[in-house]
């Protein structure tokens, strides 16, 4: 960051170079002599060049000759004699000294540097100066010094030099070096403007001692009117950069940018392919289904046209002639196998139900003990709130790369940011006092009163002190902030345009006056200079106010980081200021507490702040987590109200009310409460169990699992209670026997759904997404425990409640005696309506059934056609409440930010930087491989719209080469002890330049590389050495030890992503960076076809890292993960349904098809309701599978075991016995609770819970209660002939339950001595 100081040094270098060149004294040319001669020779007072009108002189100083050969070899003839020049040895020494900074700035491109030095070689030493240079006699001072010279130069050379230099980069800042040499942005600089800036004192008053007027001509001669003289423009040979310099520094060396391959939008007849296919599919269905209906109507069997729809659940008459005929047919193997399986389950649940009914105290007591034991695990309960732990698996690539980055460097900083707008949003015209400066438009935030108010606020924040109750100490910003030059400079890094003025209000008011006493420069001039070159040490050269652009912490502030809302690079029209306080993020608990305490005080200050001229949006590292916690606390009330509504509904609807006088007796408030408590006990037992195991919970579990288990549990409660209420008691049958018979009938169905859901959820835990995995585990265990408690504890409670009702005791006051009376069987409202054939008349008639199929299949096709259009991601705005201050910050961030997150390309430990080839694989300057790491990253910046990388990468390696290279004054050592002598040490006599014993092309290799690298990383940038790496690269290189030698371990090269606004942008940016890193790794592993032994390297890994990667990695493969999780859950349900229904393949297929249709409907709803696919919605989709089982499996099983003569009759029978319980148990229960969620303050709740839950229940009810019976009435499995035979023989009653006989137990020697199940499994 601070290495940007190199830019200011570049500017200084350029100016010194110009100074030197300008100092070269041009001789007066009153007339062009036939023989060329000098116009100057030697130096006069103050180092100025002296006028000399004579021939070139011999250069005899050996050291000067050596330097001249190095810098200006074209001026040295091939002979070994003394060359004749127009410069003395002193002038050559001065030229060499003044070329130090240009070498540092331009050495990346040898052609540029060579051409640049050539410009001054000719003007300084060319023996034929008078051919192309001239001086007016009036411009020679009495002391023989020159004030003005005229330099004629060829257009070819000027443009050749300019083109070779215009793209040379500054690695530490990512900007072109020409921005510092031209006085303006490189993109606006022209060859003529560049030479004017180098030569005219008015444009560069502090570094140009006299004027050099460059006269550019394309002709061989040019006439200067002012001198009345003809000159021959110097047509020096220039060296093109093509092939000599890297692509980063020479655009003509770059390969052509591959054209962006536009996504070919494939269409069929102008329609989306999937939409077209689904339309054709639906049309084909209509034709085939319509044809089948017509054929069935005209040619079908008579029974299909004359089916009897009347059904009465209480009718115990024989099944009729049709059934008898069917039953007499030969049974198949799968019929017998299914019947045996069904009989096995019925016998087991009958015996188990009787045991629970007979021994309620033992069962309930045991259940309570087990639940308490499991729930005590909550003592060890932990909730994962760290977003990284929540959304990124420990073994995921992003997580491992983040851990590697944190371990080798430091965790990414905590960011405290302000985005500031002016209340008056109009641009304004700045009118300088000086008539020489034209008025100019500036953005509203650059008004001086606005900047003063912002500076006051900024300084107030910087001086904040917070008290930590936990640590019992005060915390200031300096205690926690990032300070790049610490300990040399302890000031905090604050990225703000106010740091262009060193955060000093006096500097903001500073002005300079011209000779007339008018304001010649003010804070806006300084602002413009600093946005062009943030590394400028003094702005006087650009008519500033004599201030540095470097921040008070010693580093630069890049304008695209501190400003927002500006078009292109026109920073002066910025509409927002962005202030960033960079805070360290060390992972020790004490530091985290200190940072959190200071951020809390910061938030408090900002929430109370009211600006006079400004509005401020802000955020801190802890803001989102704070708002999530606040949201969770506010949603507790909403969730409780939702559960209370469901509890009240369950308690009321379970009752079987006959009259007001028996209202309390027929009420089942206690039973309903007990059922809800069982659900809650199953949740707490699941939480306790996994707390024992050590698997932490998440907020999703707390919010979602109770809802899921309530849906499953309440459904089972209604099935048990309503089946009991509707079942006719046989003569002499006890309450316990009746309960056992009810359990034998519904137990297998409850087991089918619960086991299917539990298995589906357990398999869902195979996901590597932590949120999905943990939810699946907790949900699976909760559903399983809920089933066990309902099949044990609730059966006993139902028995006790039945006996209470039979004894006439009131609910909730069961101790009060009542009048015993028989409890008549009376169906509920829904069951009564179904019993009156309302359902059959409305939904199972010959018109509604085909219409239902058409509507549902049509909706299915519509949903499939849009499933590929669902967006991925999670809008961060949904994570906070609607009244959160963070929402304003998000909006401002999307509107104003001009640069994205930093991205680091990390080279893991193992790469050998000490060999030339190893260096060339990484670096980006001249001599580096075209496909080097930095070359590839730079190539990506040439197409930011597709790469999402916007700035050239910083390179510690290239800057290290410049820092230590020949001609650089940066690397020095003390003469006395050979320790490092910093560039800031002013006494040069104490130090000497570093001596490279091992070097290739000026680069250190072998031991020299690692010897001087720590010095580079320790050196602070300054005027004499802008390439010091302490500020920019202090944390970018990790030195380690290998074989008792210090070597480079891991290192990174930083650049920036472009502005990322949507989840799609973030996902694409991550994907491109990953692909780029993988390609670099492959390239380095193959060494571009060279033998690895020749390079001395071993294959190492290169990966990109940015702070958001751990959160967005999940979306790279979320679609296949979604398909895998849902497919695995569906497969589990299919297998479980197939097995528990007695290997009934066709019913299992129908169930899984219906569940799939519910899932597809959910996807369609997500598209139409703008719900994105992410971990939250995936959890809800997995839950959808579980709840869909409840809607489908009960009815499907009821249909499968029904023995009515036709599919249509069996479909109505299935709805009559199970559909009403599903409707009242899940649909109506959940809708009441879901409606409450619509009033939540949480946007997350309203989108991912209210919307999705409502659609889960709606689609589940529509498909389970309406579509599934219709589908079964068409293509349901045939009746099981073994079961039909049993009914014909009277072995089962009209409810398809086994007929039980028996009396009171006579002995405890047998577990169930009084229960005989008359069953023939043949």
Specify which of 225-229, 895-899, 933-937 reaches the highest per-range mean pLDDT.
933-937
Higher pLDDT, 1138 or 81: 1138
Helices 360-375 and 669-693 pack at an angle, to 10 degrees, of 40
Which of 248-262, 650-664, 1035-1049, 1057-1071 is predicted with the least confidence, judged by mean pLDDT?
650-664
Work out the average pLDDT over 911-930: 88
Instruction: Provide the pLDDT for residue 503.
Output: 92
Work out the average pLDDT over 1162-1172: 93
**Residue range 536-595, pLDDT digits in tens:** 776 655 566 778 888 888 888 889 899 999 988 889 999 999 999 999 998 888 999 999
Distance between CA 1158 and CA 1151 in Å, rounded? 11
Instruction: Provide the pLDDT for residue 1160.
Output: 95
Q: With 90 as the cut, is the pLDDT of residue 943 above it? A: no
Q: With 60 as the cut, is the pLDDT of residue 827 above it? A: no
Shortest CA distance to 268 belongs to which of 258, 280, 256?
280
When pLDDT is cut at 50, 70 and 90, the band that residue 1301 belongs to is very low
**Which DSSP symbol is given to 146?**
B
Which of 269-273, 561-565, 1266-1270, 1305-1309 is predicted with the least confidence, judged by mean pLDDT?
1305-1309
Instruction: Provide the pLDDT for residue 18.
Output: 39
Other CB atoms within 10 A of residue 183 CB: 24
- Asked if 576 and 896 count as a contact pair (C-beta separation under 8 A), the reply is yes
DSSP string, 639-668: HHHHHHHHHHHHHHHT-----GGGHHHH--
Q: With 70 as the cut, is the pLDDT of residue 1309 above it? A: no
**Residue range 583-605, pLDDT digits in tens:** 999 888 899 999 999 999 999 99
When pLDDT is cut at 50, 70 and 90, the band that residue 1027 belongs to is confident
Q: With 70 as the cut, is the pLDDT of residue 1305 above it? A: no
- Asked if 196 and 212 count as a contact pair (C-beta separation under 8 A), the reply is no
- Asked if 606 and 616 count as a contact pair (C-beta separation under 8 A), the reply is yes
When pLDDT is cut at 50, 70 and 90, the band that residue 17 belongs to is very low
> What sign does the dihedral 945-948-951-953 (CA atoms) show?
negative
* Structure token pair of residue 1133: 């349900």
Shortest CA distance to 501 belongs to which of 475, 483, 532, 525?
525
DSSP string, 457-525: HHHHHHT-EEEETTTTEEEEHHHHB--TTTTT-----EE-GGGGGTT-HHHHT--EE-TTSSEEE-HHH
* Prediction pTM value: 0.80
Q: How far does Cα 824 stand from its chain's mean position?
A: 62
Beta bridge partners of 1102: 907
Q: How far does Cα 1102 stand from its chain's mean position?
A: 20
**Residue range 253-278, pLDDT digits in tens:** 888 777 666 566 777 877 888 899 99
Other CB atoms within 10 A of residue 311 CB: 18
Q: With 80 as the cut, is the pLDDT of residue 831 above it? A: no
Which of 26-30, 72-76, 266-270, 825-829 is predicted with the least confidence, judged by mean pLDDT?
26-30
User: Is 1038 in a helix, a strand, or coil?
Assistant: strand
When pLDDT is cut at 50, 70 and 90, the band that residue 7 belongs to is very low
Higher pLDDT, 1093 or 1242: 1242
Instruction: Provide the pLDDT for residue 200.
Output: 79
Q: Which residues contact 29 (CB under 8 A, 6 or more apart)?
A: 39, 130, 133, 134, 135, 227, 229
Q: Which stretches of 181-225 are assigned E, i.e. beta strand? A: 211-217, 222-224
Q: With 90 as the cut, is the pLDDT of residue 1299 above it? A: no
- Asked if 864 and 1160 count as a contact pair (C-beta separation under 8 A), the reply is yes
Instruction: Provide the pLDDT for residue 997.
Output: 82
| Integer CA distances (angstroms), 1303 to 362, 796, 797, 1313, in order | 22, 19, 22, 9
Q: With 60 as the cut, is the pLDDT of residue 327 above it? A: no
Higher pLDDT, 312 or 842: 842
**Residue range 947-983, pLDDT digits in tens:** 999 888 889 998 898 888 766 778 888 988 888 988 7
- Asked if 1129 and 1180 count as a contact pair (C-beta separation under 8 A), the reply is no
Instruction: Provide the pLDDT for residue 768.
Output: 80
Question: Can you list the alpha helix ranges (DSSP code H) found in 951-1105?
Answer: 956-964, 1006-1018, 1030-1033, 1063-1086, 1092-1095
- Asked if 575 and 427 count as a contact pair (C-beta separation under 8 A), the reply is no
Q: With 80 as the cut, is the pLDDT of residue 314 above it? A: no
Please work out, in degrees rounded to the nearest 5, the angle formed at the alpha carbon of residue 996 by the alpha carbons of 990 and 1000. Answer: 150
Distance between CA 685 and CA 366 in Å, rounded? 14
Work out the average pLDDT over 222-231: 83
Specify which of 220-224, 757-761, 1257-1261 reaches the highest per-range mean pLDDT.
1257-1261
| Integer CA distances (angstroms), 224 to 37, 135, 140, 210, 212, in order | 19, 11, 18, 19, 14
* Structure token pair of residue 1300: 């039980």
* Structure token pair of residue 130: 């008078």
């Amino acid at each position: 960051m601070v290495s940007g100081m190199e830019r200011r040094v570049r500017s200084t270098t350029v100016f010194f170079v110009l100074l030197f060149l300008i100092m070269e004294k041009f001789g007066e040319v009153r007339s062009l002599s036939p023989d060329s001669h000098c116009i100057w020779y030697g130096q006069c007072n103050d180092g100025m060049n002296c006028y000399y009108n004579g021939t070139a002189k011999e250069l005899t100083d050996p050291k000067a000759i050596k330097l001249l050969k190095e810098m200006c070899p074209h001026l040295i003839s091939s002979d070994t004699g003394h060359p004749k020049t127009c410069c003395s040895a002193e002038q050559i020494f001065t030229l060499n000294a003044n070329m130090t900074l240009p070498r540092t700035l331009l050495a990346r491109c040898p052609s540029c540097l060579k051409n640049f030095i050539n410009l001054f070689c000719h003007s300084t030493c060319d023996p034929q100066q008078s051919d192309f240079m001239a001086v007016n006699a009036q411009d020679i001072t009495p002391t023989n010094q020159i004030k003005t010279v005229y330099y004629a130069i060829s257009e070819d050379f000027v443009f050749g030099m300019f083109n070779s230099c215009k793209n040379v980069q500054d690695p530490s800042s990512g900007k072109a070096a020409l921005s510092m040499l031209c006085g303006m942005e490189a993109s606006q600089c022209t060859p003529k403007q560049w030479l004017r800036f180098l030569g005219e004192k008015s444009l560069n008053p502090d570094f140009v001692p006299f004027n050099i007027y460059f006269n550019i001509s394309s002709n061989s001669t040019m006439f200067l009117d002012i001198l009345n003289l003809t000159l021959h423009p110097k047509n020096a040979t220039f060296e093109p950069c093509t092939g000599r310099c890297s692509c980063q520094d020479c655009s003509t060396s770059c390969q052509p940018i591959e054209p962006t391959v536009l996504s070919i939008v494939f269409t069929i007849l102008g329609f989306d392919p999937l939409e077209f296919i689904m339309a054709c599919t639906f049309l084909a269905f209509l034709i085939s289904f319509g044809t089948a209906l017509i054929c069935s109507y005209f040619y079908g069997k008579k029974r299909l046209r004359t089916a009897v729809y009347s059904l009465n659940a209480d009718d115990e008459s024989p099944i009729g002639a049709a059934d008898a005929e069917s039953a007499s047919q030969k049974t198949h193997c799968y019929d017998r196998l299914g019947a045996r399986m069904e009989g096995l389950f019925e016998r087991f649940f009958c015996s188990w139900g009787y045991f629970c009914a007979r021994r309620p105290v033992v069962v309930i007591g045991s259940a309570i003990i087990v639940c308490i034991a499991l729930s005590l695990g909550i003592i060890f309960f932990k909730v994962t709130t760290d977003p990284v732990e929540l959304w990124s698996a420990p073994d995921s690539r992003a997580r491992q790369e983040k851990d590697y980055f944190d371990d080798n460097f430091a965790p990414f900083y905590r960011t405290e940011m302000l985005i500031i707008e002016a209340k008056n949003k109009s641009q304004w015209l700045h009118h300088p006092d000086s008539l020489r400066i034209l008025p100019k438009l500036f953005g509203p935030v650059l008004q001086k009163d606005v900047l003063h108010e912002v500076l006051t606020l900024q300084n107030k924040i910087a001086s904040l002190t917070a008290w930590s109750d936990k640590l019992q100490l005060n915390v200031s910003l300096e205690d926690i902030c990032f300070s790049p030059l610490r300990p040399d400079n302890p000031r905090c890094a604050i990225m703000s345009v106010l740091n262009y003025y060193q955060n000093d209000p006096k500097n903001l008011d500073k002005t300079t006056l011209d000779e007339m006493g008018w304001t010649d420069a003010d804070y806006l001039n300084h602002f413009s200079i600093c946005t062009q070159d943030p590394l400028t040490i003094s702005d006087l050269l650009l008519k500033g106010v004599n201030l540095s652009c470097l921040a008070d912490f010693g580093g630069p502030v890049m304008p695209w980081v501190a400003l927002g809302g500006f078009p292109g690079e026109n920073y002066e029209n910025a509409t927002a200021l962005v202030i960033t306080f960079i805070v360290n993020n060390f992972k020790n608990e004490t530091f985290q507490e200190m940072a959190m305490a200071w951020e809390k005080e910061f938030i408090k200050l900002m929430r109370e702040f009211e600006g006079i001229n400004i509005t401020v949006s802000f955020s801190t590292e802890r803001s989102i987590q704070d708002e999530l916690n606040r949201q969770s606390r506010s949603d507790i009330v909403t969730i409780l109200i939702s559960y209370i509504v469901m509890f009240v509904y369950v308690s009321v609807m379970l009752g079987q009310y006959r009259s007001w006088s028996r209202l309390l007796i027929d009420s089942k408030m206690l039973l309903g409460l007990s059922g809800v408590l069982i659900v809650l006990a199953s949740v707490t037992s699941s939480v306790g169990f996994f707390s024992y195991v050590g698997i932490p919970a998440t907020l999703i579990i707390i919010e979602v699992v109770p809802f899921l288990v309530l849906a499953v549990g309440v459904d089972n409660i209604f099935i048990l209670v309503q089946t009991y209420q509707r079942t006719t008691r046989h003569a002499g049958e006890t309450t316990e026997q009746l309960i056992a018979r009810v359990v034998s009938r519904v137990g297998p169905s409850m087991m089918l759904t619960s086991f299917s859901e539990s298995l589906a959820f357990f398999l869902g835990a195979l996901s590597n997404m932590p949120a999905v995995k943990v939810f699946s585990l907790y949900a699976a265990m909760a559903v399983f425990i809920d089933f066990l408690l309902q099949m044990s504890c609730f059966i006993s409670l139902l028995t006790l409640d039945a006996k209470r009702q039979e004894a006439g005791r009131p609910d909730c006051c069961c101790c009060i005696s009542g009048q015993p009376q028989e409890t008549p069987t009376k169906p509920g409202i829904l069951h009564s309506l179904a019993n009156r054939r309302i359902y059959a008349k409305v939904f199972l008639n010959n018109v509604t059934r085909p219409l239902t199929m058409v509507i549902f299949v049509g909706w299915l096709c519509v949903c499939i056609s849009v499933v590929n259009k669902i967006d991925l991601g999670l809008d961060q705005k949904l994570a906070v409440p609607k009244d959160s201050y963070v929402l304003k910050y998000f909006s401002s961030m999307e509107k104003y930010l001009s640069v994205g997150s930093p991205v680091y390309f990390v080279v893991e430990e193992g790469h050998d930087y000490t060999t030339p080839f190893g260096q060339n694989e990484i670096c980006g300057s001249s001599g580096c491989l075209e496909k080097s790491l930095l070359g590839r990253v730079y190539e990506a910046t040439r197409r930011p719209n597709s790469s999402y990388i916007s700035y050239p990468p910083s390179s510690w390696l290239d800057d290290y080469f410049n820092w230590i290279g020949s001609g650089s004054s940066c690397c020095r050592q003390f003469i006395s002890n050979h320790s490092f002598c910093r560039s800031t040490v002013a006494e040069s006599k104490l130090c000497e330049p570093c001596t490279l014993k091992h070097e290739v092309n000026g680069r250190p290799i072998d031991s020299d590389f690692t010897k001087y690298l720590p010095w580079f990383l320790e050196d602070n940038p300054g005027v004499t050495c802008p390439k010091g790496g302490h500020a920019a690269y202090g944390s970018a290189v990790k030195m380690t030890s290998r074989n008792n030698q210090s070597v480079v371990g891991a290192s990174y090269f930083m650049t920036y992503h472009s502005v990322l606004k949507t989840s799609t942008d973030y996902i694409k940016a991550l994907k491109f960076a990953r692909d780029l890193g993988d390609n670099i790794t492959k390239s380095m592993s193959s060494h571009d076809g060279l033998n690895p032994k020749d390079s001395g390297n071993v294959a190492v890994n290169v990966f990109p890292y940015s702070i958001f990667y751990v959160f967005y990695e999940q979306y790279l493969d979320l679609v296949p993960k979604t398909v895998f999780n849902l497919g695995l859950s569906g497969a589990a349900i299919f297998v479980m349904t197939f097995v528990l229904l007695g290997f009934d393949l066709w019913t299992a297929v129908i169930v899984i098809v219906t569940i799939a249709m519910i899932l597809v409907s959910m996807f369609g709803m997500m598209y139409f309701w703008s719900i994105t696919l992410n971990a939250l919605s995936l959890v809800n989709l997995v839950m959808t599978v579980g709840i869909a089982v409840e809607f489908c499996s009960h009815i499907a099983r009821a249909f499968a075991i029904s023995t009515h003569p036709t599919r249509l009759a069996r479909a109505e029978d299935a709805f009559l016995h199970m559909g009403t319980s599903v409707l009242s148990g899940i649909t109506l229960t959940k809708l009441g609770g879901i409606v409450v969620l619509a009033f939540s303050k949480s946007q997350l709740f309203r989108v991912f819970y209210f919307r999705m839950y409502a659609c889960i229940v709606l689609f589940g009810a529509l498909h389970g209660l309406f579509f599934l019976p219709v589908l079964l009435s068409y293509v349901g499995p045939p009746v099981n002939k073994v079961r039909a035979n049993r009914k014909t023989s009277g072995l089962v009653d009209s409810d398809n339950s086994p007929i039980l006989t028996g009396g009171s137990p006579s002995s405890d020697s047998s577990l169930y001595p009084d229960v005989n199940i008359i069953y023939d499994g043949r």
